[in-house]
Amino acid sequence: MALGIGCTARPGNSRNNKTGSWRVFYPVMDTEKCTKCGTCQLICPEGCIDQNPDKTYSIDLDFCKGCGMCAEECPDKAKAISMVMEEK
Amino acid sequence: MEGSIAIAETVRLCRPQVIPAYPITPQTHIVEGLASIIADGRLDAEYICVESEFSALSACIGASTAGSRVYSATTSQGLALMTEVVFNSAGMRLPIVMGIANRAISAPLSIWNDQQDSIMMRDSGWIQLYAEDNQEAIDMHILAYKVCEDHNILLPAFVCFDGFILSHVYEPVDIPSQELVDEFLGPFNPYQKLDPKDPISFGMYATPEYYMEFRYEHDQAVHRAAEAIKKYGKEFGEMFGRDYSELVVGYKLEDADIAIVAMGSICGTVKDAIDEMRADGKKVGLLNLRCFRPFPSTDVAKALAHVNTIAVLDKNVSLGAKGAAAIEIKEACYGSNIPVYDYILGLGGRDVRKKDIKKIVELAEKGEGDMFYGLREEVL
Amino acid sequence: MVDRSIENFECGHRACGGCGVSSAVRMILKGYGENTIVVNSTGCLEVFSTPYPETAWKTPWIHSLFENASAVASGIEASLKKQGRLDTEKILIFGGDGATVDIGTLCISGAFERGHDFTYICYDNEAYMNTGIQRSGATPYDADTTTSPAGKCSTGNSLPKKDYPQILVAHGSPYVATASMAYPGDLMKKVEKARNIKGPCYIQVHTPCCTGWGFDGAKTMEIGRMAVECGLWVNYEIIDGELAAVKKVKRVPVDDYLKAQKRFRHLFKPVRNDAEIAKIQAIADKNAKKYGIDIE
């Protein structure tokens, strides 16, 4: 692959870096409890939470670093996300 | 007309869209000239009165990447202040043309001419052209844009002309026509640019896995520029009537025993001195270095192969070593056994006269060189 | 109307887990909309988002040096103006607090004085984080950083946090605001507003840093809220030089906010440093009075 002149690149290839491998904890999403508020999707530092067809949300574990912000900020009346330790 | 105004008028013909400018002696008349040209509606450009030279070149980076042809000018302290941006813009491979009204570097503070400012940037990856007179100064601006914007080159360029000696001197010049310059340059066609329709990340950082390869490609581009300058210099000659197809130009050099090597306006004085020395029977010639980066090693070696003595005039000094040109000339001539003598002179505007050139030739004949020439003993 | 479906910052970047900056940037890019050209100073954001050849940016993006983003943006703006592109395309500058309040001041001052049309976002994690948590002009009083460490003869950073927004107000910026990534709706609204105001706009965004401040990454927004609720961070808008809106709070003492972060732990261990905490409380009280944040 030729070098991008001047150290340049077109978008897309940060996705080659699967940051999911960083995790110690991973999020478990219970879509039954999800109130579809969209908070998790909005605040996730990775942007790896996507909306399902039924408007609930799911987390892309290829990229999730397991920070736990989504679980923390999921509204009290839902608490649809819990953090579980990775088994290694 | 005054050199600075001639340059301003020529830059106008190149149709830059953005001119970030900061004043510094002896470049001020150029940026003032351009401001006046724009204020009179003779050039449709954005003129940015930046708050420092550092910002001037930074703004050039922005405007160039956004898709505009740009111009700025500086010297000495201003160029030193921009150092970070000089290296950065070259590494980003942006075709920026900048006029340098060569001036000595502080400390001590001096507003007068020598070539230390552009010489100290020789590692930066910018092309460096040196003008002997105001005609060359303006022609080289047009030529520089052509070379820099070639998608196979993509480098910034310094067009260097001695401060005060050229910038503030009145000489008759031939300012080309707008039609010819438009035909020669064409509109700015960036290789890549900031555009939401085709987003690109510029200026990423390179880990050890990639940095060397970027530097290698940059170096290759500077070397390639030699051929590009010759090619476009020839085209320039065919179109404008003044040839720039050689990076080094000989004057009465073909049969010379002693060669003087010099850059910039001093060549004019040297030529006059050579004419007088020739009349006295001394076979002296001049090799005028028009291009310092890329350094034309092969051309230099070829041009000087037949002489028996080389005297290099350096209006700069790499302190603790020698004059920068002498070091490179020596390297180019390595293996030839021709003695190369370095004469550091003209620093901080110290005048160099025909008799000084003749004296230097005498010193070279006696094998005395590698010195600061013309020191005032009574002051030391 | 902010389009929350905009995703112009990709996964796979190398920010710490729980990074306040990357969370904020995703929100800000939604607020600023499409047709955005990003100019980025050297720092955490630039480094974790663009290690060649990987880039997380789906907008056009440029990084030059640490201190010159505003000058680069000035050049871009001039070029867009000449090309007739400035009506549709807008410039968004990201600089960390170090890049903004310290080393960037020369270029920022010039750009704001000249009145170029762009929005400058200072993501404020209150230290030079990318180089390892050194003190900047935005580091709060008594914070422990590597160049203002707490020790036997020191209680941390002995200097006040620079009131940078005021400097831009003095430059005549039409819109100067503070915001926090802990209040996403407010942040995105302010960013959208700034895009639509002609001239140089400035928003300083509080972006708590779990790595630098010493707290669990899951609590990033919680810490951000605590900063606002105790008055050490105030969210406000200054429009054409006049204070136009302030977030009011039922203010709580600074203790809980300070206790929750390792960078202030030295104020509580081995014993509570009453004198220093009182000084910090006084800063919060002064903010409250100056901006009128207390709900009566």
Structural domain spans, chain A: 32-85
Q: Where are the domains of chain C?
A: 20-291
Q: Which residues of B touch C103 (CB under 8 A)?
A: none
Q: Note the pLDDT of residue B301.
A: 98
Tell whether B101 is covered by a domain: yes
Contact C52 B70 (CB under 8 A): no
CB B290 within 8 A of CB B133: no
Over the stretch B105-160, which tens digit does the pLDDT of each residue have?
Answer: 999 999 999 999 999 999 999 999 999 999 999 999 999 999 999 999 999 999 99
Residues 215-244 of chain C whose Cβ lies under 8 A from any Cβ of chain A: 216-222
pLDDT score, position A51: 96
Mean pLDDT of B40-55: 98
The nearest CA of chain C is from the CA of A43 a distance in Å of 5
Q: Say which CATH number the domain at B359 has.
A: 3.40.50.920
For residue range C15-63, what is the model confidence (pLDDT) as tens digits?
999 999 999 999 999 999 999 999 999 999 999 999 999 999 999 999 9
- The ipTM is 0.96
Tell me how far apart the alpha carbons of residues B241 and B203 are, in angstroms, rounded to a whole number.
40
Q: Which of residues 50-69 of C touch A (CB under 8 A)?
A: 50, 52-58
Average pLDDT over residues A27-34: 96
Segment C215-233 mean pLDDT:
98
Q: How many CB pairs lie under 8 A apart between chains A and B?
A: 43
Confidence of residue A68 (pLDDT cuts 50, 70, 90): very high
Chains touching chain B through at least 3 C-beta pairs below 8 angstroms are A, C
Give domain status of residue B378, yes or no: no
Determine the pLDDT at residue A1. Answer: 67
Mean predicted confidence (pLDDT) in C200-210: 98
CA A23 to chain C, closest CA, distance in angstroms equals: 9
Peptide linkage before B108 cis (omega within 30 of 0): yes
How many CA atoms within 13 Å lie on the side-chain side of C77?
26
Q: Check if B48 contacts C (Cβ < 8 Å).
A: yes
Cβ of residue A9 closer than 8 Å to a chain B Cβ: yes
Buried b (16+ CB within 10 A) or exposed e, C89-103: bbbbbbbbbbbbbbb
Residue whose C-alpha is closest to residue C91's, from C72, C68, C113, C112: C72
Q: Are residues B235 and B252 in the same domain?
A: no
The minimal CB distance from B154 to the residues A5, A10, A11 is found for A5
**Closest to C21 in 3D by CA, of C53, C47, C2, C60:** C47
Q: Tell whether C46 is within 8 A of chain B (Cβ).
A: yes
What pLDDT sits at residue C287?
98
Asked, as a colleague might, if the bond just before A27 is cis with ω within 30 of 0, I would say no
Chain B contact set for A5 (CB, 8 A): 93, 154, 191-192, 217
CB contact under 8 A, C12 and A17: yes
CATH 3.40.50.1820 assigned to domain A32-85? The reply is: no
Same domain assignment for residues B236 and B262: no
Burial state string for A4-30 with b = 16 or more CB within 10 A and e = fewer than 16:
bbbbbbebeebbebebbeebebbbebe
- Please state, rounded to an integer, the average pLDDT across all residues of chain B: 98
Closest CB to C78: pick one of B18, B88, B207: B18
Band of pLDDT at residue C296, cut at 50, 70 and 90:
confident
Residues of A in contact with B207 (CB under 8 A): none
DSSP B145: H
Contacts of B45 in chain C (CB under 8 A): 82
Which of helix, strand or coil describes residue A82?
A: strand
Same domain, B196 and B213: yes
Using CA coordinates, name the residue in chain B closest to C66. B84
Give the up-direction half-sphere exposure of residue A5: CA atoms within 13 A in the CB hemisphere: 18
- Distance, in Å, from the CA atom of B96 to the CA atom of B74, rounded to the nearest integer, reads 13
pLDDT at A87: 86
Kindly state whether C25 is in contact with chain B, defined as any CB-CB distance less than 8 angstroms. Answer: no
- pLDDT tens digits, residue range C128-173? 999 999 999 999 999 999 999 999 999 999 999 999 999 999 999 9
Res B263: pLDDT: 98
Under a CB-based contact definition with an 8 Å cutoff, are residues C9 and C57 in contact? yes
Query: CB B66 to CB C79 under 8 A?
Result: yes
- The answer to whether the beta carbons of residues C47 and C20 sit under 8 Å apart is no
Q: Which amino acid makes up residue B224? A: R
How far apart, in Å, do the first and last CA atoms of chain A sit? Answer: 36
pLDDT beyond 80 at C184: yes
In this structure, what CATH number is given to the domain that contains residue B63? 3.40.50.970
Longest CA span, chain C: 63
The rounded distance, in Å, linking the Cα atoms of A58 and C296 is: 42
The answer, for C50 touching chain B at a CB cutoff of 8 Å, is yes
Question: In whole angstroms, what is the distance from residue A3 CA to residue B367 CA?
Answer: 50
Residues B111, B134, single domain; the answer is yes
Are the beta carbons of C26 and A47 separated by less than 8 Å?
Answer: yes
Q: What is the pLDDT of residues C93-125, one digit of tens each?
A: 999 999 999 999 999 999 999 999 999 999 999
Nearest Cβ partner for C11 among A7, A19, A38: A19
Q: What DSSP string runs through B10-65?
A: HHHHT--SEEEE---TTTHHHHHHHHHHHHTTSS--EEEE-SSHHHHHHHHHHHHH
Which residue on chain C is closest to A21 by alpha carbon? C12
Q: Do B203 and C63 touch (CB under 8 A)?
A: yes
Pick among A5, A10, A16, A17 to test the B interface (most B CBs inside 10 A): A5
- For the segment B309-315, the average pLDDT, to the nearest whole number, is 98
In chain B, residues with a C-beta closer than 8 Å to the C-beta of A11 are 199, 201
pLDDT band at A88 (very low <50, low <70, confident <90, very high): low
Q: List the one residue out of C51, C200, C21 whose CA is nearest residue B206.
A: C51
Give the mean pLDDT of B219-241. Answer: 98
Secondary structure of chain C: what % helix, strand, coil (to 5)?
A: 40, 20, 40
Nearest to B334 by CA among B368, B300, B365, B292: B300
Q: Does C15 touch chain A (CB under 8 A)?
A: yes
| Domain final residue, candidates B240, B265, B293 | B240
Q: Per the domain annotation, does B379 fall within a domain?
A: no
Q: At CA A35, angle to CA A33 and CA A40, rounded to 5? A: 100
The proportion of chain C whose per-residue pLDDT surpasses 70, expressed as a percent, equals 100
B262, containing H or E segment: strand B258-262
Residue A60 pLDDT greater than 80, yes or no: yes
- What's the topology of domain C20-291? Rossmann fold (3.40.50)
Rounded average pLDDT over C176-194: 98
Check A5 against B206: CB less than 8 A apart.
no
* Domains: count for chain B: 2
The per-residue b/e assignment along C111-127, b for 16 or more CB within 10 angstroms, e otherwise, is bbebebbbbbbbbbbbb
A9 with B217: Cβ contact below 8 A: no
Domain span at residue B295 reads: 248-372
Out of B46, B50, B199, the one facing C82 most closely (by C-beta) is B46
Which residues in chain A touch residue B91, judged by CB atoms under 8 angstroms apart?
A: 6-7
The candidate with the shortest Cα–Cα distance to B59, out of B20, B15, B17, is B20
Task: Using pLDDT thresholds of 50, 70 and 90, give the confidence band for residue A12.
Answer: confident
Stretch A22-41: mean pLDDT: 96
Picking from C11, C49, C218, the nearest residue to A48 by CB comes out as C11
Tokens of C226: 């605590």
Mean pLDDT, residues C70-99: 98
Nearest C-alpha of chain A: how many angstroms from B149? 13
pLDDT higher than 90, residue B173: yes
B83 and B154: one domain?
yes
Residues B236 and B254 grouped into a single domain: no
Separation between Cα atoms, residue B330 and residue B300, nearest integer Å: 10
One domain for residues B78 and B198:
yes
What is the model's pLDDT at position B103?
A: 98
Tokens of C267: 């104020």
Average pLDDT on A29-41 reads 96
Q: Summarize the confidence of residues C258-262 as an average pLDDT.
A: 98
